[in-house]
Amino acid sequence: MKAAVYKGIRDVGIREKDMPTIQHPDDVIIRVQRTSICGSDLYIYRGDLHETMGPGESGLGHEMVGTVVEVGPSVTRYRVGDRITAAYSVSCGSCPSCRLGMTAHCETTNKAVYGFGRAFGNLEGAQAEYLRIPHAEAHTERVPETISDDQAIFLSCNLPAAITGVENAQIQLGDYVGVVGLGTTGQLALRLAANRGAARLFALDRVPARLAKAAQVGAQTIPVSDPNCVEQVWELTAGHGLDVVIEAAGQRDAFDLALQLLRPGGTYSGLGVYVGGGHPLNIGDVFLRDLRIFTYGFDNTRGHMWPAIRLIERGVIDPATLITHRFTLDQIADAYRLFDQAEDGVIKVAVHPPGGNHR
């Protein structure tokens, strides 16, 4: 079968791999019908996790929807032909962390993530024709017929993460709400925040196409390249500042910017993925302004997959409207290059593996 692999820094490609097989009784094998590239995949692409990746071997991708083609003997929830999606992190559902809802910190799988190299379980990636799903019943959902493949790829990561960010933000009616970082998850969080009764939405990013997309839902858009962007927000809120900032960029300057925008007693809800350390935090400022800080970049997606399905089914949000580009699996290198450079108005790319009955 064909599968996308990490070859080196800013170098991905396709190689032939053996078909996955049932290795444990609770496995299922799926034919991948649709997959995509997440913003966190760019950390791999740009070399931030190079030491933990096996060049030429490590698979890529953790967002998918597929059709079950084989089930292990212990699996009773699914049958061949069912369409399912899986959370990006593999969880067993029964260890202490899973029972606490901290599924991304599963003690059985040791934080295993599809397509994230040796440090995260050394699992194959979803950017492939077929994929083995271990602990299948614990971290997957059946995809209803009413949900398309395009919508379903958002269930593995982006939409549940956005739900987490908005819930942690604890938005109150009439709040001034800002979103910093308008990639896929930031765009989804912005749309969910609009349904929470915010008095005004502020959207900050450096990419014009992302700002334009945010403006479609009525957000006040402000480019972070403007050296006076903080002052603009404070002026537009009559010196009040923002009650809530949801930060989905995963960059240190974005974190600093988010804190500068908050009023005393405001809430920072972080969804960005951070790697490395050493970034200074003015804890005295956090203390004196009574700021509340939530970080959930390594999101416990499993618990929000069903709510995400319900939001799509009931017409609250259609994440597929964020798909701007499509590629075949053979074009995966072009897809990563475009997404990395944020060119041509890209927000979300959908990747179509060969075969399968796409919906």
Q: Residue 291 maps to which CATH number?
A: 3.40.50.720
How would residue 114 be classed by pLDDT, with cut points 50, 70 and 90?
very high
Question: How high is the pLDDT of residue 295?
Answer: 87
- Please report whether residue 108 resides in a domain: yes
CATH at residue 83: 3.90.180.10
How would residue 143 be classed by pLDDT, with cut points 50, 70 and 90?
very high
Rg (CA), the chain: 20
Residue 323 and residue 207 in one domain: no
Residue 47 and residue 180 in one domain: no
pLDDT, tens only, 252-263: 899 999 999 999
Residue 237 and residue 268 in one domain: yes
pLDDT, tens only, 226-250: 999 999 999 999 999 999 999 999 8
Gap between the Cα atoms of 23 and 212, Å rounded: 47
Q: Which amino acid, one-letter code, is at 158?
A: N
Gap between the Cα atoms of 256 and 249, Å rounded: 11
Residue 221 and residue 81 in one domain: no
Nearest to 266 by CA among 289, 287, 236: 289
Question: How high is the pLDDT of residue 117?
Answer: 92
Gap between the Cα atoms of 256 and 262, Å rounded: 11
Residue 11 and residue 148 in one domain: yes
- Please report whether residue 339 resides in a domain: yes
Gap between the Cα atoms of 286 and 198, Å rounded: 24
> Do residues 47 and 7 lie in contact, with contact meaning Cβ atoms separated by under 8 Å?
no
Which residue range forms the structural domain that includes residue 190? 161-295
- Please report whether residue 358 resides in a domain: no
Residues 6 or more apart whose CB falls under 8 angstroms from that of 13 comprise 4, 5, 7, 332, 333
Residue 244 and residue 310 in one domain: no
- Please report whether residue 357 resides in a domain: no
Residue 124 and residue 230 in one domain: no
Residue 253 and residue 341 in one domain: no
pLDDT, tens only, 51-90: 999 999 999 999 999 999 999 999 999 999 999 999 999 9
- Looking at the chain, the whole-number percentage of residues with pLDDT higher than 90 is 89
Gap between the Cα atoms of 59 and 7, Å rounded: 10
Residue 173 and residue 275 in one domain: yes
- Looking at the chain, the whole-number percentage of residues with pLDDT higher than 70 is 99
Q: What is the 3 state secondary structure string of 200-233?
A: EEEEEECCHHHHHHHHCCCCEEEECCCCCHHHHH
CA-to-CA dists, residue 55 to 44, 113, 181, 332, 335, angstroms: 11, 17, 30, 16, 19
- Please report whether residue 343 resides in a domain: yes
Name residue 223's beta-bridge partners. 205
Residue 346 and residue 317 in one domain: yes
Residue 41 and residue 188 in one domain: no
Domain end position, chosen among 251, 270, 295: 295
